[in-house]
Amino acid sequence: MSGSKTIPEQVRKRAAELRDVLHRHNYLYYVLNEPEVSDAEYDRLMRELIALEDAYPELRVPNSPTQRVGVPPIDKFETVTHTIPMLSLEDAFSESEVLAFDDRVRRFLGTDSDILYTIEPKMDGLAVELVYENGHLVEASTRGDGYTGELVTQNVRTINTVPLTLIKTPSVPIPSRIEVRGEVFMPIEAFKRLNQERLDRGEQPFANPRNAAAGSLRQLDSRITARRHLEIFCYGVGTVTDLKFTSHWEVLQHLKALGFRINPYIKRQVRINGVFAYYRDMLDKRYDFPYEMDGIVIKVDDLELQKRLGEKARSPRWALAYKFPPTRETTRVLKINVQVGRTGALTPVAHLEPVSVGGVTVSRATLHNEDEIKKKDIRVGDTVLVQRAGDVIPEVVKVIKTKRTGTEKAFHMPAVCPVCGCKVFRLKGEAVWRCVNANCPAQVKERIKHFASKGALDIDGLGDKLVGQLVEKGLLSSYADLFFLDKTTLTKLERMGEKSAENLLNAINKSKKVSLSRFIYALGIRHVGEHISRVLAQKFRTLRRLMSAGVDELKTVDEIGPVVSESVRAFFGNQENQKNIERMLKAGVTLETEEPAGEQFLADKTFVLTGALETMTRSEAKARIQAMGGKVSSSVSKKTDYVVAGKEPGSKLDRAKELGIAILDERKFIQILRSYRGKG
């Protein structure tokens, strides 16, 4: 090739070695959750490979680990025909429908014997087909209409849980061609972060994680896909050369051995009664999972029986989707009110005719902002489709316009704050209207509620109604006023006896001793959440240093960009905020210095908390772990180091036992905290 450099043989060999090593570490980290090297070592290997490919571009093959970052955009997606159709599944919504399916299977096969099924969670994502030739990913496509899909190979390459090359072992043969089928999805936490980023930019949020995954996978610019957190579980195959399997379970085990990620909750050889027990268990755990699932899938395990059963026009006779109760329902918009948040943001909220969605009665749904209402054309009186997913706030998905009668009324954002009557404004580039009055009672209430919340000062007994009373009676105009309340004043309030007043004052006094990071978070600085609060606390170590930091100094801190820097500087530059902080310090608020970066004794340790603790709240336990560099996760996985089990633990304890993860009671947990501190 003209102009290209001759690649020394040792360089070519080293690049191949690095590709193999990095593929293996990706598999260990993303698929098995069992990393063998530190992040620093992995980064060193990756930088070495990048340097070699930069020096010798011909080494940059499509399946190199360096290519997960995406490539320049394409004009449009090409299409491909699946060699074996990707059929959809027939749905069932009741035990009687599942029993009817089992009866049909046995009658079709002419047997009275029990059928053995493989059962698995039904992911709510996007079906794809991955084609490998001689162990290398050569093509990836969407399900499409089941017969023809769109080629999304470059986008799929960016998904860390998709192997670019298959694992080679003597005992696991790699077929010359294998078509692997799976479900691409976006974890719930990643979905929330993405939607918040879009709202902050004034963009339309995705309706649900499935839409977010589909939208991310179908980007013409794969670099955008690479920035989205997509994952995959593989569940079957299309055409496979050179290999023969006897059961669906055997297929899954072979895929796992080749490096594919298989859902760990799949069960094999289950009779029909076992299917119902599994369904109830998955339904009970539904919202404990870090991803969305909308049911279970039941498959005849024996492949020869699958072949005999065959397919109907649109679905196989040997498989069934047993769906969970719907998380979407139709209802009617009774009225639209506007709520005012602690930063002055005006959020329209739909008040609905109560409806059960996924087993929970929903009577309100967020409408996000004015642009969202206009885009969906939501009017008072409309019949709408409402969606709820996990603990995500219910929202209106769309209007059922065919149900309109002509009596529906358009909604307009108010020109003044609905609480204080002051002018509202909307900055250029933002989707949110805001109240300009910092002393607006609604903002004051929300700021105080945030200040007293579990992630902040955790003042027990200071609920929404009590905060409302205190603000409306003029007893609180800022969170600093909390530290100057007295028993005489409190006992004059409705439903506030002497004992209740004493309990509240004790809780306020207890909150005076707080870590710097929790105090920063409690202040309610715009764009500063719990994580950024910890970053700032560990960097500046004292409140005085943080308060005096300029924008340029703030921008030098890792993870702190210009928007956060400006917000922090503006907050501490405000005289009213300075006055409130000084009042709190004079009232006896004591800030505990964060552990410096060199003393993060629990670094790389991941904890999961379940059940109630006696000597501390869950929030306090979380803060102590994080102050020492540890991580606290909401779900149990192979990456979890410890599960702390208090009284009445939930299903997380069962999951920990299944995975063989260390389980700590409260006494052992405290011993660990003390022993790590003792290493200093």
Higher per-residue confidence, 41 vs 162: 162
Residues across the chain: 680
Banded model confidence at residue 175, pLDDT cuts 50, 70, 90: very high
Would you state the pLDDT for residue 171? 84
| Residue scoring higher pLDDT (596 or 663) | 663
Q: How far apart are CA 581 and CA 12, in angstroms?
A: 62
What's 86-114 look like in SS3?
CCCCCEECCHHHHHHHHHHHHHHHCCCCC
pLDDT, residue 35, reads 66
Q: Are 625 and 607 in contact (CB under 8 A)?
A: yes
Residue 446's φ and ψ, nearest 5 degrees, are -65, -35
- Name the pLDDT band for 389 (thresholds 50, 70, 90): low
Place of tokens 């061609």: 177
Q: Is the dihedral of CA 564, 568, 571, 574 positive or negative?
A: negative
pLDDT at 2: 44
pLDDT for residue 224 is more than 70? yes
Q: What is the pLDDT of residue 239?
A: 92
Residue 313 has what pLDDT?
61
Of 62-76, 420-434, 435-449, the one with minimum mean pLDDT is: 62-76
Mean pLDDT, rounded, for 23-51 = 72
Both tokens assigned to 152: 């999304």
* Interval 431-473: pLDDT, tens: 899 998 888 999 999 999 999 998 899 998 898 889 999 999 9
Give me the helix-helix angle, 95-109 and 272-285, nearest 10°.
150
Region 232-254: what's the mean pLDDT? 94
Calculate what percentage of the chain has a pLDDT beyond 70: 92
In one-letter notation, the amino acid at residue 544 is R
Q: pLDDT > 90: what percent of the chain?
A: 46
Q: Return d(Cα 218, Cα 235) in angstroms, integer.
A: 21
Identify the pLDDT of residue 597: 44
> What mean pLDDT is predicted for residues 471-488?
93
Structure confidence by residue, pLDDT tens digits, 525-536? 988 888 788 889
Q: Is the pLDDT of residue 392 over 70?
A: no
Residue 326 has pLDDT above 70, yes or no: no
Q: What is the pLDDT of residues 139-159, one digit of tens each?
A: 999 988 788 888 999 999 999
Contact 88, 314 (CB under 8 A): yes
The average pLDDT across 92-116 equals: 93
- State yes or no: pLDDT of 108 exceeds 50: yes
Kindly tell me if the per-residue pLDDT of 594 is higher than 70. Answer: no
Cα 564 to Cα 554: distance, rounded to the nearest angstrom: 8
Whole-number pLDDT of residue 32: 62
Collapse the DSSP code of 302 into the 3-class scheme (helix H, G, I; strand E, B; otherwise coil) and give the result.
strand
pLDDT at 415: 92
Confidence of residue 189 (pLDDT cuts 50, 70, 90): confident
pLDDT at 39: 61
* Domains of the chain from N-terminus onward: 9-69 (1.10.287.610), 91-323 (3.30.470.30), 328-410 (2.40.50.140), 441-511 (1.10.150.20), 515-592 (1.10.150.20), 600-678 (3.40.50.10190)
Q: pTM (2 decimals)?
A: 0.52
β-pair partners for 148: 81
pLDDT band for position 501 (cuts 50, 70, 90): very high
Enumerate long-range contacts of 441-447, CB under 8 Å, 24 or more apart: 441/471, 441/472, 442/339, 442/340, 442/341, 442/417, 443/340, 443/341, 443/342, 443/343, 443/344, 444/471, 444/476, 444/477, 444/478, 445/471, 446/340, 446/341, 446/342, 447/342, 447/478, 447/479, 447/524
Q: Is the pLDDT of residue 300 over 50?
A: yes
Out of 80-84, 383-387, 614-618, least confident range: 614-618
The predicted-structure confidence for 335-363, as pLDDT tens digits, reads as follows: 999 999 888 999 999 999 998 776 667 88
Would you say 166 and 135 are in contact if contact means Cβ atoms under 8 Å apart?
yes
Average pLDDT of the residues of the chain: 86
The residues carrying an active-site annotation are 122
Query: 64-78, 367-381, 558-572: which range is least confident on average?
Result: 64-78
User: What average pLDDT does this structure show over 387-406?
Assistant: 80
Kindly tell me if the per-residue pLDDT of 519 is higher than 90. Answer: yes
Q: pLDDT value at position 390? A: 47
